[in-house]
Amino acid sequence: MTTLIASSRDYGALVKEDRVHSSIFTDEQIFQDEMERIFHRTWLFALHESEIPKFGDFKRIQLGRFPVIATRDENNQVQLLINRCRHRGAQVCEAPRGNAKRFQCWYHGWTYDSKGELVGVTGPEAYDKDFDAEQHALPKVPRVGSYRGFVFASLAEEGMSLDEYLGATKKFFDIMIDSSPIGEIEIKPGVVNKTMYRGNWKQIGMDGYHPHYVHMSVFKIFSKRESTIGSAVGALHLEDPFADVSQSRTRGFANGHACLDFREQRRSHAAMAIEDLQRSEDGRQYVADMIARYGQEHAEELLAWHGDPHLGLFPNLQLIHDHVRVVLPIGPGETEVLMYPVFLKGVGSSINEKRLRAHEAFYGPAAAGSPDDAEIFERTQRGLLADAEPWVLLARGLNREQVDTDGSVTACISDEITQRAQMQEWKRLMTAAN
């Protein structure tokens, strides 16, 4: 038996056009290198601005190995501060979220404001007269940018711009955000579902090949619930969106981003989706407001699409209809997934209640979909540890790829374009010059 071992550091040899070596999912040293070469160099999703709406609001987040405090300062600016006291290195913030104008280190009492400036030192007379508090502020994340409320961060001082990183995927962000008649969404502070699974972080992604098998029981239930027509899942399952004969497509973009594109499949059901909304006062107002803002044709498209981009941004963000999913690697065989329900601004309460119920049905703590995914990821991880034949095949649809006008590579919904896009970006980043 021959294997390519991680210690060779020849990461280019581990990813081929149609397959990848299983060690990239299981090897501890590869995982450590991923933190340095991927999570500490590229753009990462940090949070949505609506999670810290007021001055003093904060949220504790993780970027790669770096603990970070996201705060809203007195100038209404989002600050991303490294959660590490400049004295002896302790975290200065332990609460997951809240409101605070100051952060005081529990170890020796050094205190910082919402901009990270050092504003208090215990026993300052014990320090040299040349001690300069301005030189001891909390370090800031080197680069921070945002697109329509989505805040991204890069721990690298230099690199591609956020605009270059997002590229053609911005139009899929717009689908989610423009489902609001005022063009704004909200992630409510503290409203989150968490899933831990014993598997590699790269297993979670856009995959149109698995639903018929992993989620078979879920789809049978949804198909019998006629009342879900026009909801998050109802219109999607009026016909099989995961059949290769459907109008659904899979897309791979630059920088490892990928999408399951249901736009054409859902557009054909626009009239039914709008008819369902018209049955309630909130729904009728929602339709009217959408038409007033976007015009008849585009409003009908947006309502048919249900705000579902089904977009995966490499390496740690997914946007799927009624939730934002954030991937946090813990180790080569352990991953945490945070799932935040997304609410539309400018709509009646029943519209968001319906979205929340749909989120709970598939992704909530007692949901049907997330446990399926976690289970298959864990089964896969156990299988990957057996390297009798260490190569993982990702060849489906390679023979029928096409390049679309937006530069994306596209084919049938079940094709593994999404995995190939992710793995090629993994290869690029892991083999880039230090």
Which domains are delineated in the chain?
A: 47-147 (2.102.10.10), 168-431 (3.90.380.10)
Tell me the average pLDDT across 142-159.
97
82 Cβ contact partners less than 8 Å away, ≥ 6 residues apart: 66, 67, 68, 69, 138, 139, 140, 141
Q: What is the DSSP string of 260-276?
A: EE-HHHHHTTHHHHHHH
Q: For residue range 374-390, what is the model confidence (pLDDT) as tens digits?
A: 999 999 999 999 878 89
Q: What tokens were used for 109?
A: 């009492």
Q: Indicate if the pLDDT at residue 191 is higher than 90.
A: no
Tell me the average pLDDT across 183-202.
93
Nearest to 1 by CA among 384, 389, 382: 389
Nearest to 84 by CA among 54, 112, 57: 112
- pTM listed for this prediction: 0.93
Question: pLDDT at position 238, please?
Answer: 59
Cα separation of 148 and 11, whole Å? 35
Is residue 339 within 8 A of residue 212, CB to CB? The reply is: no
Helix-strand-coil split of the chain, %, nearest 5: 35, 25, 40
Residue with the two structure tokens 């399951």: 260
Residue with the two structure tokens 């109802």: 234
Question: pLDDT at position 223, please?
Answer: 64
Q: What does the angle CA 215 – CA 216 – CA 222 come to, to the nearest 5 degrees?
A: 85
Q: For residue range 326-340, what is the model confidence (pLDDT) as tens digits?
A: 999 999 999 999 999
Is residue 270 within 8 A of residue 303, CB to CB? The reply is: yes
Higher pLDDT, 434 or 55: 55
Q: Indicate if the pLDDT at residue 5 is higher than 60.
A: no
Q: Indicate if the pLDDT at residue 7 is higher than 50.
A: no
pLDDT confidence of 1, banded at 50, 70, 90?
very low
pLDDT-above-70 percentage for the chain: 93
Nearest to 83 by CA among 106, 60, 51: 60
**Residue 344: strand, helix, or coil:** strand
